[in-house]
Amino acid sequence: MSLGPAYNRLWLATALSNLGDGIRAGALPLLAISITSDPILVSGVAVAGQSPWLMFGLFAGAVVDRYDRRRLTVLVDVTRVLLLLILVVGLALGVAGIALVYAVAFACGVGETLRDTATATLLPPLVSDADLDRANGGLVNAEVAGNEMVGPQVGAYLFGVAMVLPFAVNGGALAVAAALIFSLPNVFAPKAAPPAGKGRIWADTRAGLRWLARQRRLRTLVILGGTFTLLDSAWFPILALYVGQVLGLPGWAYGTLLAAGAVGGLAGGFFAARVTRLIGSTAALTGCLGCAAAGQLMLALTTSVPVAVAGLVITSGAFGVWAVAARTLRQRLTPPELLGRVSSAWMTIVMGAVPLGAGLGGLIASGWGLTAPILVGVPLLAISGLVCYLTFRGRDEPA
């Protein structure tokens, strides 16, 4: 059953925007390599693109809650189109240096914090509460497919065809996405006019964080989401080493296992609404953490390829269901006027957990072996599942 033309436009805009982000993410490192061979400067491109979340992520929610979310999203996308146009012109004229690459990566990253936060608030007014989980499933899969599966590969391929091509395609995708967002119904304005003064952004941010700290269920959900991401990030970056040294497979098999995990994640996002409607959000969220623990235990204790593939599919599928169920519950438990700040707090914690988990996982693996970061997450995920059950049991209905 269709969720309506407005949702369809939002879904297409989300898919195009995230596809463009993935294309840019795949092409920027290659562009940096073509300019400099210094590994520090090359790795700095990723830092420039990701650091805005840690620097401005919390403030993005206050900005989103103060202004018309539809117009803000359009403004951010149009600004990023102009930035990419500058980069394309610089490349065409042969004057683009590493400083321009850094500037574009950082500025687009700042825009991404605002856009992703705003996008998380656009859905609830467009669909009924009963359809929120199904609608979120479609958006989550569009984000994952564009940002992680399709986009980076397309970006790398387009860069091989012509250096300017991936950035031109990224800009074109964002322009179409902006037009689609602008065509949405005008139902995203704040209830009251924003107070004057830039200092209010910090005051609004603190007010949102204080409110979130007082909400036991939401606070727990945010902490569990960060924990889940951290534990997943602890072992995923060393999967290539695991495939070769633990499973004894050739290098090409790494891509095959990544594809298997991606299929599991997309399946989880697709079936998340059915799962939560069948067993309830409490059981679904608790089950995700339990299944992730079981999947990681399979990965840690086996050298069998089929068992490892099954474990990877289970963990990725659990993460996919969690992403949809947790986002839906967050939207239902948060007042509309605070949804931007709660969403930005959530995403800032998740984005910060990724490099932290990767760093901890690397240290654990170097000291105790490649399976250690996988195994250490098993009891922590089990404990998280127990905390989740005790926090949400008997309270599946929205507050």
Q: Which residues of 327-391 form beta strands (DSSP E)?
A: none
pLDDT at 399 over 50: no
Q: 127: which DSSP letter?
A: S
pLDDT category, 395, cuts 50, 70, 90? low
Question: What pTM, to 2 d.p., does this model score?
Answer: 0.83
Model pLDDT, residue 189: 67
Span 209-249, pLDDT tens digits? 999 999 999 999 999 999 999 999 888 878 888 888 898 88
As a whole number of angstroms, the distance between CA 114 and CA 116 comes to 6
Q: 312: which DSSP letter?
A: H
Q: Are 200 and 194 in contact (CB under 8 A)?
A: yes
Which position has the higher pLDDT, 186 or 297? 297
- Identify which of 189-193, 269-273, 290-294 has the greatest average pLDDT: 290-294
Cβ neighbourhood burial of 55 (10 Å; 0-12, 13-18, 19+): middle
- Identify the weakest region by mean pLDDT among 104-113, 141-150, 169-178, 388-397: 388-397
Kindly state the percentage of the chain with pLDDT values over 90: 47
What's the mean per-residue pLDDT of the chain?
A: 88
Span 240-254, pLDDT tens digits? 888 888 988 887 788
Which position has the higher pLDDT, 2 or 396? 2
Domains of the chain and CATH, by start: 5-194 (1.20.1250.20), 208-392 (1.20.1250.20)
